[in-house]
Amino acid sequence: MTTIEIDHTSRWFGNVVAVNDVSMTVGQGVTGLLGPNGAGKSTLINMMAGFLAPSTGTVTLDGRPIWRNEAVYKEIGIVPEREGMYDFLTGREFVVANAELQGLGDAAAQKALATVEMEYAQDRKISTYSKGMRQRVKMASALVHEPSVLLLDEPFNGMDPRQRMQLMALLRRMGAEGRSVLFSSHILEEVEQLASHIEVIVAGRHAASGDFRKIRRLMTDRPHRYLVRSSDDRALAAALIADPSTAGIEVDLGEQALRIQAVDFGRFTELLPKVARDHGIRLLTVSPSDESLESVFSYLVAA
C-alpha cells in the first residue's frame, strides 16, 4: 500500500498564501479533495505530483520526498486539469509515447486504452476528440504503468453525465483494487457519490476530513439565510419567529425586506409558505442569500 503524507505543509506565491499549514494522509481507496474554486486544491495536488515545492512542511510518498525526485513517477499517475496534450498525435501515439517514457511498450499502452474504452477512436488525432475523450486518453496515459497512486485534478469538468458515470465507475474500481486515488472537485455531489473519504479545503486551510455522511451533516446543519419580501413583512415575521426552525429575523428598512435566519432547513422550507397562506400574506420574494459555495464552505471552517 502506498501513502502520500502531507505534513504541516504551506505554499505561498509572493505574499498570497495558497495552502496554509495543511496536514493529511492519502491512502488506499478513493479520496475526494473538495473545495470551492481558488481554495488551493490545485496547488495541493501539484505539490503531491512533484510539480511544486512546498514553502514549508513536507510532502512524501511512503516517506520519500516527492519534490525533485523523478523516481516517484514509477508509482504515481497524474491526470492534469489542463488540456494541452500533443494534439497533433493520435490517441494511440500519445499513450504509446507515455508508455515508452515509463520504460514500457505497446502492450501496456493498448491495455490502458482498453481500460478507458478508447480503442474505437485511438487512431484519430487528439485534436478531433471531445472533452470527455481527451479526459479518457489522459487517464490512459496515467494508467500505462499501473501506478499505485492516481492523482486527478478536476477530472469531471466538462464531462457529460454518461462520461461522468463511466469515469466514476473506473475510479471506484481503481480504489477497490487497492490503489490510492485522489481527485479534486468543487461539487459536493460528485465527491459524495464517489469518495469513501473526503478532505475539505477552504481558502487554503484544511477545513474538514472524514466520510461523506459527516461532511454532509456539517453542510446541511448550518444556518440558512433568506431574504423575503411580502405583502406584510411584520405580520409574517411575527408568525415565523414563533416556530423553533427560525433563529432570528431582521427588518431591513433599506431593502424593504426581511432577513431571516433558519436553523432547521427542511422544516423552515415547509413552514414559510404555510404560515404565509394561513395569514393571508403574499410572498413577493424568497431568495437564499448565502447559497454560494464559498459561504457554504465557510460554515465548515467555523465548524
Partner 1 sequence: MYDPTVARLTYRALLGRRRAAILFVLPALLVVIAVAVRAFAGADDQVASDVLGGFAIATMVPLIGVIAGTGAIGPEIDDGSIVYLLAKPVKRPTIIFTKLIVAIAVTMVFSALPTLIAGLILNGNGQQIAVAYTIAALVASIAYSSLFLLLGTVSRHAVVFGLVYALVWEALFGTLVPGARTLSVQQWSLAVAEKVGGAGAITSDVGLPVATVLLVAVTVAATWYAGQKLRTLKLAGEE
Which residues of this chain interact with partner 1, rule CB under 8 A?
A: 13, 18, 38, 40, 42-43, 46, 49-53, 68, 70-71, 73-74, 76-78, 80, 82-86, 88-89, 97-98, 100-103, 141
Q: Judged by CB, which is closer to partner 1: 93, or 264?
A: 93
What minimum distance in Å lies between the beta carbon of 17 and partner 1?
Answer: 11
CB within 8 A of 5, min separation 6: which ones? Answer: 25, 26, 58, 59, 60, 61, 63
Q: Shortest approach of partner 1 to residue 145 CB, angstroms?
A: 9
Residue nearer to partner 1 on the CB measure, 39 or 240 = 39
Could you tell me the smallest distance in angstroms from the CB atom of residue 274 to partner 1?
46
What is the phi/psi pair of residue 245, to 5°?
A: -75, -10
Cell of 260: 431571516
Question: For partner 1, which is the closer residue by CB, 39 or 257?
Answer: 39
CB 179 within 8 A of CB 276: no
Integer Cα distance of 272 and 283 in angstroms: 9
Is 71 or 253 the residue whose CB approaches partner 1 more closely?
Answer: 71
- Of 84 and 254, nearer to partner 1 (C-beta) is 84
- The CB density around residue 178, as the number of other CB atoms within 10 Å, is 11
CB of 34 to partner 1, least distance (A): 16
Closer of 93 and 290 to partner 1 (Cβ): 93
CA distance 292 to 103: 47
As measured in angstroms, the least distance from the Cβ of 138 to partner 1 is: 9
CB of 218 to partner 1, least distance (A): 25
